[in-house]
Amino acid sequence: MKFTGGGMLCFFWYSFVLVSSAFSAQSFKENEEIQRSQFPDGFLFGASTSSYQVEGAYLEDGKSLSNWDVFCHTPGTIESNENGDVADDHYHRYLEDIELMHSLGMNSYRFSISWARILPDGMLGKTNPSGITFYNKLIDHLLLKGIEPFVTVHHYDMPQVLEQRDGGWLSPLLREEFAHFASICFKSFGDRVKYWITFNEPNLVSEFAYIRGWYPPAHCSPPFGNCSSGNSDTEPLIAMHNILLAHAMAVDTYRRVFWPKQHGFIGIVANAHMYEPLRDDERDRHAVDRALAFNVAWMFDPLVHGDYPSEMRECPGLELPRFSHNEKQLLRGSIDFIGFNHYSTLYVKDCIHSACPLGGDHAIRGFLNTTGYRDGVPIGEPTGMPRFFVVPRGMEKMLDYLKQRYNNKPMFITENGYSSPTPQTELQDWNRIKFHKAYMASVARAIRNGADVRGYFIWSLMDNFEWLSGYTTRFGLYYVDRKTLHRTPKLSAGWFASFLRNSSHNDAKDSVIERIEMKLEKKICREC
């Protein structure tokens, strides 16, 4: 049977209703109950996106090529040779997307600003007024709907000219470039933006761009990869060093120049897996400590305490850069909150006393190896991402680790999400609902135990460009048809809406069909 245009939409809609009604409500009720009332007043609940993954309009209105534009147009780098040229067309459809957020009842939205849209040629060029206008409109309309903007200044993408002219994050010149870009954002939007994130996941950028060679500028060396250039043992340390100092310079500017009038909060976001020992022995337990230090504390220790973690300083063969006395002063205390993206937990094996493949025997990886399996058994239910497993206890453990190490500094979970291993169940995404219920319950337990957690953002509002996976991996609450770009709510969207209303959401009937889709059903069926 062939379906086209509106007929295809109707087919999806009626299949959605029929299949979702066949699920057992009883099995849904067996999951751990979680309610919004279990979280503090003023807690931020929202969803996250990033500029390159959703905006599209990659060369419109004065925007220049970004490093990701160039990278994705290189054949063979992205699955199916896909790219973010159009993405979800959020640049043109932002009003529609804000309506989706409002219909869910979200009180915050985390998004990022495209550096190439604001400063196409870096600080040597002029500010692009069209870029400023777009984000002003986005922020203003969010506030009109009662949605707090939670803004990331840099989420992977930068003007390609900064890679070519300056050498990207391997160059100290990028520190001043970023501080200048951030100051333009503070000046242009800070009267309405109260929550700022300087960088998204510098620790993951350091690994994927400079150890593995998977992200631009695709630097690596054996045994981690066979890139045309790079040194996996030294370059990630240089890149992280420059990013941390760029962050500190931007925060210093914000606090001196803008905070007296704007009174906002500023932080940074780490990619934060939790870890458990592969074997019940002292060596693997110490390896867990190193894994956390080489991933999470690598970022946060300098920004809280003023220097790299002792676990890294004491690692044989690791040539960490040194901070000057003035740099330590600039770094120390340069975050108002800790942001982290948490998706899973992995096992850790010590590689000091055991042979390990794939670079686990290198100082840059902390002499350890991570895996999702023990004796062939996964640590948790597998998902659509190879190293993401459903391990809700890891969220509570991560919150406790951060609470203990950083004196319970305010924390925001800036990304947490689920991708299905079976795409045909995307609209009836019961496993995504179970995932978020379990992880939110873990957050609620941590809060009851004293963790100062202030927000939880689902990745993602809608299916988008998932970096190396292109559009084949989906995390969204809304399904995006790649031909029409129409947004269709999944069951998880209805669940999240009922959760945010603090209403009962265990009954399968209390779903997208009743809570959100009444008005969308009429619209879709008019197109049949």
CA geometry: angle at 53 spanning 163 and 17, to 5°?
Answer: 170
Through-space distance between the first and last CA atoms of the chain, rounded to whole angstroms: 15
Residue 11's pLDDT band, with cuts at 50, 70 and 90, is very low
pLDDT digits (tens, 9 = 90+) for 339-355: 999 999 999 999 999 88
HEC profile of 290-356: HHHHHHHHHHHHHHHHCCCCHHHHCCCCCCCCCCCHHHHHHHCCCCCEEEEECCCEEEEEECCCCCC
State residue 7's pLDDT score: 38
pLDDT digits (tens, 9 = 90+) for 274-312: 999 999 999 999 999 999 999 999 999 999 999 999 999
Closest CA to 375 of 278, 275, 286, 276: 278
The predicted model gives 100-112 an average pLDDT of 98
Residue type, 93: R
pLDDT digits (tens, 9 = 90+) for 316-327: 999 999 999 999
Question: What single-letter DSSP state applies at residue 37?
Answer: G
Output phi, psi for 320, to 5 deg: -70, 140
Q: Where are the domains of the chain?
A: 42-525
Residue 502's pLDDT band, with cuts at 50, 70 and 90, is confident
More confident position, 7 or 42: 42
Q: Map residue 10 onto helix, strand or coil.
A: helix
| Residue 53 pLDDT > 50 | yes
State residue 357's pLDDT score: 80
- Does this model's pTM top 0.75? yes
CA distance 292 to 289: 5
| Residue 337 pLDDT > 70 | yes
| CATH of region 42-525 | 3.20.20.80
Residue 501's pLDDT band, with cuts at 50, 70 and 90, is very high
Please give the C-alpha separations between residue 38 and each of 128, 208, 441, 479, 493, in angstroms, as whole numbers.
Answer: 44, 37, 9, 29, 20
Q: How far is CA 510 from the centre of its chain?
A: 29
Output phi, psi for 470, to 5 deg: 60, -130
CA distance 262 to 191: 6
| Residue 522 pLDDT > 60 | no
Compute the half-sphere exposure of residue 426: CA atoms within 13 Å on the CB side of its CA: 22
pLDDT digits (tens, 9 = 90+) for 429-459: 999 999 999 999 999 999 999 999 999 999 9
Residue ranges of alpha helices (H) inside 393-510 are 393-405, 430-448, 491-500
CA distance 280 to 262: 51
State residue 1's pLDDT score: 35
Joined tokens for residue 68: 């990701």
Name the catalytic one among 55, 327, 415, 466.
415
Closest CA to 84 of 211, 177, 216: 216
Joined tokens for residue 466: 């998932």
Residues with Cβ < 8 Å from 57, sequence gap 6 or more? 63, 89, 91, 92
The predicted model gives 234-262 an average pLDDT of 98
Closest CA to 108 of 171, 157, 151: 151
State residue 503's pLDDT score: 60
The predicted model gives 494-499 an average pLDDT of 97
Helix (H) or strand (E) holding 32: none
Q: Map residue 264 onto helix, strand or coil.
A: coil
Residue 415 annotated to the active site: yes
Q: Which region among 1-10, 148-157, 424-433 has the lowest average model confidence (pLDDT)?
A: 1-10
Secondary-structure breakdown of the chain: helix, strand, coil percentages, each rounded to the nearest 5: 45, 15, 40
pLDDT digits (tens, 9 = 90+) for 366-416: 999 999 999 999 999 999 999 999 999 999 999 999 999 999 999 999 999
CA distance 8 to 378: 38
* Cβ count near 313 (within 10 Å): 12
CA distance 271 to 370: 15
Joined tokens for residue 263: 């009174």
Residues with Cβ < 8 Å from 450, sequence gap 6 or more? 403, 408
| Residue 518 pLDDT > 80 | no
Helix (H) or strand (E) holding 282: helix 282-292
Are 343 and 417 spatial neighbours (Cβ–Cβ below 8 Å)?
A: yes
Name the catalytic one among 148, 201, 207, 396.
201
pLDDT digits (tens, 9 = 90+) for 193-207: 999 999 999 999 999
Question: What single-letter DSSP state applies at residue 288?
Answer: H
Closest CA to 271 of 363, 433, 388: 388
CA distance 254 to 190: 9
Closest CA to 87 of 61, 116, 58: 58
State residue 25's pLDDT score: 33
The predicted model gives 36-55 an average pLDDT of 97
